[in-house]
C-alpha cells in the first residue's frame, strides 16, 4: 500500500495497481472494509485500528463476495463485539516528528447475548518534508452493537467516522531536462529528498525554469496545501443459520466530503468532492449436498460523485465539474466437488452488469506568449493560481466558453501585457452513459498430499469496468480483462513448527487501463485513463515460517516478478514542438478521430511500474523469559530491486534497489495485560521514490517519497 496524497492509498499486487486518485477510475485492487467494498481510494483512510486481521488476496476476485477486481483485494476486518463480557485496551505512542498516536477500545456486555464495542484512534505527526507536508492528522471513531437475537440469528450494526486534516502528501524535485536540438539533456536536482516543493530553497529552484507557453520563468507557489476530509459509514450484518445452510446479509451506506489542495505534484490540484455509496450483499453458504459444497450470492452497488477539480499548472488552469454515477448488479457462485477425502474440484462464476453515467464538463485557460521563440515584452504577466472556477481568475475579457477563443491578457488596469494572450479551449461536455455485462469464471483443483500438505491449481478470469471522462480525444475507455493461472503448494512440517508455501502465477491482461498524467488531443496535460494494450506478468513466491525454538520465530518471503507490456502505445499532439521527453521510441502519426498530427510512443516490452523483479522479506522474533515477565525483540527487513515509478520511463523515474529495516523491543508480563516498547522504522533512513510525475510545461520531474527514519516508544494496557 502506497500513500498517494490527500489521505488516500494506492494499492499494488504483483505489479498491478494505480497511483492516481482519478474519480472516474476504479481501482485494480479492491479495498473491502468490514465486508464492504469501498469505491474511492481516498475513502480508505481512518480504518486501520482495533482490527481482527488484514487479508491480502492475489489475482482476480468476485466469485465469493464483493465487486470485481483484476489484481486482488485488501480485506480490513475490525474486531467485532464480544458477547456478554467486559474487556478493552488502550495503546499510545510518541516518537520523533512529534508523532503521537492513541488507540483504544472498550467492549461492554448487554446481557449475556449482546455487546457494545466502542473504539477510536488518533494519529498525528509533523511533516516528513521540510515544508511541513507529508504530515498526518487523522481522528477516527467506530461503534458497534451485536446481539444473538435467537440461537440461529445474530445481528450486528456498526457506524464509523473519520476526519483527516493536515497539509497532505508532499513532493520533492528529482531534476530537470532540456532539449538540445537532438535529444534531451538531463540535470539532477541539487535538492535533498527531504526538501518539499514549498520550502524556500525549492521555491527558488522552481523559479529558474522557463515555462514555454507563457514565455517566462515560473513563479513560486502562493496557495497553501491542505486536506479536509470527513467520512461516515453505517454497516449492518445479519447471520441466519438454517437447516440447509447459513445466510449472511450485509447492507451498507457511506458518505464522504472533502476539500483539498494537493502539493504532491510539481503543480497544484484542488478538489472539492462529495461521494456517496450504497451497497447490499447477500451470501448463502449451503450445507453439503452429496459431494458438493456451494456458495451463492448477489450484490448491488451504487455510487455517486460530485467533484469540482482545478489543476493549476501556473501557465494553464484546467477546470472540471464532474457528476458521476456508477451502478453494479452481480450474481456469483462457488461450487466445490469433494471427489474424495483428498481431492476437490472447484468452480466459480460471476455475472455482472455495470452501468456508468457522466454529466461532466471541462475547459482550459492558457497563458501564451505569442512571439515565441522571441520572449514577450510583457513576459512578467502573472501566472495563474488556484481559483474557484474560471470566473475566479477575474479576467473580464475572456471569450465565452463553447467554441474557444483567444484574447489579450489584460493587467488590472485593463492594459494588455505586450505579446501575451489568453487561450480558452472549447468546452468539453459529456452527458452520456455506458453499460456492460460481463461473465467471469474460476476453475481449480485441490489435492491433499498428506494431512498437512496441499497442492492446488487454478485458472480464473476477471475484469475492471470502463468509464467516461471529460478529456479531449479520450472521452471513453474500455473494460480491462485478465486471465490468471496459478499453481501452488501449502505445507506444514515437524508438528506445525515449519510452514512452507510456494505459488507460481501467470497473468495475461487485455485492454489494460492506466491512469496517469498525459496530454490530450488539445495538447493539455492532465490526469486521465487510457487503454494502452496488454501485458504479461509471471513469477513465483515462497513463504517460510519457522518456530526454531519455543522462543524463536523466523520468517522469510521471496517473490520473483516479471512484468512486460506486450502492447503499450499512446499518442501526444505534435503542436509544432519536439517530441516530449519519454524513454520510449516514437513515430509521427495522425489521430484518426481529429486528424491532429501526433507523436506515437511505443513502450511495448517495458516492465510495469512499481514492479521490482525481486522482493525479499526477512523477519526474526526472540522471546527472552525474565521470571514473570518477558522481553520480545523483533526485526524485519525488506529488499526490493530496482523499479520504475512512472510510466514515461524517464531515467529520473527509475528507483534503484532498496533495503528497509524495522526493529522493536517489547517488555511485558506473561499475563500480557500491559506492555512497554521501543521501536525504530526505516533504520537506513533511505528516502526512495514512491511515485514520480513529469511536469512537461517546465521540463521538471518531481516525486513523492517514503517516510524517513522514525522512532519512539509505545505503551499499552489490556483490561
Per-residue pLDDT at 63: 82
Q: Which residues contact 374 (CB under 8 A, 6 or more apart)?
A: none
Model confidence pLDDT, tens digit, residues 77-130: 999 999 999 999 999 999 999 999 999 999 999 999 999 999 999 999 999 999
Confidence of residue 5 (pLDDT cuts 50, 70, 90): very low
Cell digits of residue 698: 517546465
| CA–CA gap between residue 580 and residue 650 (Å, rounded) | 11
Give me the mean pLDDT over the 454-465 stretch.
94
Per-residue pLDDT at 404: 62
Angle in degrees, CA 250, 256, 260, rounded to 5: 150
Distance, C-alpha 153 to centroid of its chain: 37
Of the candidates 305, 312, 494, the one whose C-alpha atom is nearest the C-alpha of residue 386 is: 312
Is residue 363 within 8 Å of residue 438, measured between CB atoms?
no
Give me the mean pLDDT over the 243-255 stretch.
96
Is residue 23 within 8 Å of residue 307, measured between CB atoms?
yes
| CA–CA gap between residue 187 and residue 174 (Å, rounded) | 9
Confidence of residue 6 (pLDDT cuts 50, 70, 90): very low
Per-residue pLDDT at 21: 59
Give me the mean pLDDT over the 559-570 stretch.
91
Cell digits of residue 385: 493560481
What pairs with residue 349 in β-bridges?
333, 441
From the number of C-beta atoms within 10 Å of its C-beta (0-12, 13-18, 19+), residue 192 rates as exposed
List strands edge to edge, sheet with 29-33: 36-37, 29-33, 72-78, 51-58
Per-residue pLDDT at 554: 98
**Residues of the chain above pLDDT 90, percent:** 63
Confidence of residue 46 (pLDDT cuts 50, 70, 90): confident
Angle in degrees, CA 150, 156, 157, rounded to 5: 140
Model confidence pLDDT, tens digit, residues 59-81: 888 888 888 888 888 999 999 99
Per-residue pLDDT at 469: 86
| CA–CA gap between residue 516 and residue 388 (Å, rounded) | 24
Cell digits of residue 561: 516478478
Of the candidates 7, 11, 47, 49, the one whose C-alpha atom is nearest the C-alpha of residue 27 is: 11
Give me the mean pLDDT over the 156-170 stretch.
95
Q: Which single residue is written with the C-alpha cell 510583457?
A: 378
Please give the C-alpha separations between residue 357 and each of 432, 560, 709, in angstroms, as whole numbers. Answer: 6, 40, 45
Of the candidates 522, 523, 216, the one whose C-alpha atom is nearest the C-alpha of residue 383 is: 216
| CA–CA gap between residue 386 and residue 221 (Å, rounded) | 10
| CA–CA gap between residue 664 and residue 599 (Å, rounded) | 53
Give me the mean pLDDT over the 637-656 stretch.
93
Number of Cβ atoms within 10 Å of the Cβ of 391: 11
| CA–CA gap between residue 305 and residue 324 (Å, rounded) | 5
Confidence of residue 136 (pLDDT cuts 50, 70, 90): very high
Cell digits of residue 541: 513466491
Give me the mean pLDDT over the 387-416 stretch.
79
Per-residue pLDDT at 572: 81
Cell digits of residue 326: 456508477
- What's the count of helices (H) and strands (E) in the chain, helices before strands? 1, 44
Dihedral class, residue 392 (left if φ above 0, else alpha if ψ from -120 to 50, else beta): alpha
Q: Which single residue is written with the C-alpha cell 487503454?
A: 531
DSSP 8-state class, residue 213: G
Q: Which residues contact 714 (CB under 8 A, 6 or more apart)?
A: 91, 92, 93, 666, 675, 676, 677, 678, 679
Cell digits of residue 38: 469501498
Peptide bond into 527 cis (omega under 30): no
Please give the C-alpha separations between residue 495 and each of 449, 491, 546, 699, in angstroms, as whole numbers. Answer: 16, 11, 11, 61
> Residue 669 pLDDT more than 50?
yes
Give me the mean pLDDT over the 677-683 stretch.
98
From the number of C-beta atoms within 10 Å of its C-beta (0-12, 13-18, 19+), residue 269 rates as buried
From the number of C-beta atoms within 10 Å of its C-beta (0-12, 13-18, 19+), residue 365 rates as buried
| CA–CA gap between residue 562 and residue 564 (Å, rounded) | 7
Of the candidates 15, 184, 14, the one whose C-alpha atom is nearest the C-alpha of residue 644 is: 15
Give me the mean pLDDT over the 24-40 stretch.
87
> Residue 439 pLDDT more than 60?
yes
Q: pTM of this prediction?
A: 0.90
**What residue ranges define each of the domains in the chain, with the CATH number in brackets?**
5-363+429-718 (2.40.170.20)
Confidence of residue 149 (pLDDT cuts 50, 70, 90): very high
**Residues of the chain above pLDDT 70, percent:** 95
Confidence of residue 10 (pLDDT cuts 50, 70, 90): low
Is residue 131 within 8 Å of residue 200, measured between CB atoms?
no
Q: Half-sphere exposure of 547 toward its Cβ, with a 13 Å CA cutoff? A: 10
Amino acid at each position: 500500500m502506497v500513500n498517494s496524497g490527500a489521505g488516500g492509498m494506492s494499492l499494488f499486487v504483483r505489479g498491478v495497481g494505480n497511483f492516481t486518485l482519478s474519480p472516474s477510475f476504479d481501482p485494480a485492487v479492491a479495498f473491502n472494509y468490514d465486508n464492504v467494498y469501498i469505491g474511492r481510494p481516498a475513502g480508505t483512510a481512518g480504518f486501520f485500528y482495533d482490527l481482527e486481521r488484514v487479508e491480502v488476496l492475489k489475482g482476480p476476485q468476485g466469485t465469493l463476495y464483493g465487486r470485481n477486481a483484476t489484481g486482488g483485494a485488501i480485506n480490513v476486518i475490525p474486531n467485532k463485539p464480544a458477547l456478554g463480557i467486559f474487556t478493552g485496551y488502550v495503546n499510545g505512542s510518541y516518537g520523533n516528528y512529534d508523532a503521537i498516536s492513541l488507540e483504544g477500545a472498550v467492549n461492554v456486555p448487554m446481557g449475556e447475548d449482546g455487546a457494545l464495542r466502542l473504539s477510536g484512534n488518533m494519529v498525528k505527526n509533523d511533516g516528513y518534508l521540510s515544508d511541513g507536508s507529508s504530515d498526518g492528522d487523522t481522528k477516527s471513531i467506530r461503534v458497534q452493537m451485536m446481539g444473538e437475537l435467537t440461537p440461529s440469528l445474530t445481528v450486528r450494526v456498526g457506524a464509523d467516522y473519520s476526519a483527516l486534516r493536515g497539509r497532505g502528501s508532499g513532493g520533492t524535485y528529482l531534476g530537470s531536462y532540456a532539449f538540445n536540438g537532438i535529444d534531451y539533456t538531463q540535470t539532477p536536482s541539487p535538492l535533498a529528498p527531504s526538501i518539499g516543493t514549498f520550502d524556500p530553497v525549492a521555491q527558488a529552484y522552481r523559479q529558474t525554469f522557463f515555462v514555454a507557453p507563457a514565455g517566462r520563468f515560473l513563479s513560486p507557489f502562493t496557495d497553501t496545501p491542505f486536506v479536509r476530509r470527513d467520512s461516515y459509514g453505517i454497516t449492518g450484518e445479519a447471520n441466519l443459520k438454517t437447516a440447509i445452510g447459513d445466510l449472511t446479509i450485509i447492507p451498507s451506506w457511506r458518505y464522504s466530503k472533502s476539500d483539498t489542495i494537493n502539493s504532491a505534484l510539481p503543480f497544484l490540484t484542488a478538489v472539492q468532492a462529495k461521494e456517496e455509496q450504497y451497497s447490499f450483499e447477500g451470501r448463502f453458504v449451503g450445507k453439503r449436498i452429496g459431494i458438493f459444497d456451494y456458495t451463492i450470492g448477489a450484490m448491488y452497488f451504487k455510487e455517486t460523485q460530485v467533484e469540482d477539480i482545478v489543476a493549476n499548472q501556473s501557465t494553464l488552469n484546467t477546470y472540471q465539474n464532474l457528476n458521476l454515477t456508477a451502478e453494479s448488479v452481480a450474481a456469483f457462485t462457488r461450487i466445490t466437488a469433494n471427489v474424495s477425502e483428498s481431492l476437490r474440484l472447484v468452480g466459480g462464476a460471476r455475472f455482472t452488469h455495470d452501468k456508468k453515467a457522466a454529466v461532466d464538463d471541462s475547459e482550459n485557460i492558457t497563458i501564451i506568449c505569442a512571439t515565441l521563440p522571441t520572449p514577450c515584452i510583457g513576459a512578467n504577466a502573472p501566472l495563474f493560481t488556484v481559483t474557484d472556477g474560471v470566473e475566479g481568475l477575474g479576467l473580464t475579457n475572456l471569450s465565452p466558453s463553447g467554441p474557444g477563443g483567444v484574447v489579450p491578457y489584460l493587467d488590472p488596469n485593463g492594459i494588455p501585457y505586450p505579446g501575451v494572450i489568453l487561450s480558452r479551449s472549447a468546452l468539453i461536455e459529456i452527458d452520456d452513459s455506458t453499460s456492460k455485462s460481463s461473465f467471469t469464471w474460476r476453475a481449480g483443483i485441490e489435492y491433499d498430499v498428506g494431512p498437512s500438505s496441499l497442492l492446488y491449481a487454478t485458472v480464473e478470469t476477471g475484469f475492471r469496468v470502463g468509464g467516461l471522462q471529460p478529456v479531449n480525444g479520450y472521452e471513453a475507455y474500455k473494460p480491462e480483462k485478465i486471465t490468471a493461472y496459478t499453481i501452488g503448494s501449502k505445507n506444514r512440517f515437524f508438528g506445525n513448527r515449519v510452514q512452507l508455501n510456494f505459488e507460481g502465477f501467470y497473468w495475461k491482461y487485455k485492454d489494460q487501463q492506466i491512469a496517469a498524467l498525459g496530454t490530450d488531443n488539445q495538447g493539455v496535460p492532465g490526469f486521465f485513463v487510457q487503454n494502452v494494450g496488454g501485458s504479461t506478468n509471471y513469477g513465483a513466491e515462497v513463504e517460510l515460517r519457522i518456530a526454531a525454538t519455543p522462543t524463536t520465530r523466523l520468517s522469510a518471503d521471496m517473490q520473483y516478478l516479471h512484468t512486460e507490456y506486450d502492447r503499450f502505445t499512446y499518442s501526444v499532439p505534435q503542436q509544432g514542438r519536439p517530441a516530449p521527453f519519454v524513454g520510449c521510441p516514437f513515430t509521427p502519426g495522425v489521430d484518426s478521430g481529429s486528424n491532429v498530427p501526433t507523436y506515437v510512443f511505443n513502450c511495448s516490452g517495458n516492465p510495469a511500474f512499481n514492479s521490482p523483479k525481486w522482493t525479499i522479506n526477512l523477519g526474526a522474533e526472540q522471546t527472552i523469559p525474565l521470571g514473570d515477565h518477558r522481553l520480545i525483540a523483533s526485526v524485519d527487513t525488506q529488499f526490493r530491486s530496482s523499479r520504475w515509478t512512472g510510466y514515461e520511463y524517464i531515467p529520473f523515474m527509475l528507483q534503484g534497489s532498496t533495503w528497509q529495516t524495522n526493529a522493536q523491543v517489547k517488555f511485558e508480563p506473561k499475563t500480557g495485560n500491559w506492555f512497554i516498547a521501543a521501536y525504530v522504522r526505516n533504520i537506513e533512513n533511505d528516502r526512495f521514490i514512491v511515485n514520480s510525475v513529469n511536469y512537461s510545461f517546465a521540463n521538471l520531474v518531481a516525486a513523492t517519497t517514503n517516510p524517513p527514519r522514525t522512532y519512539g516508544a509505545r505503551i499499552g494496557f489490556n483490561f
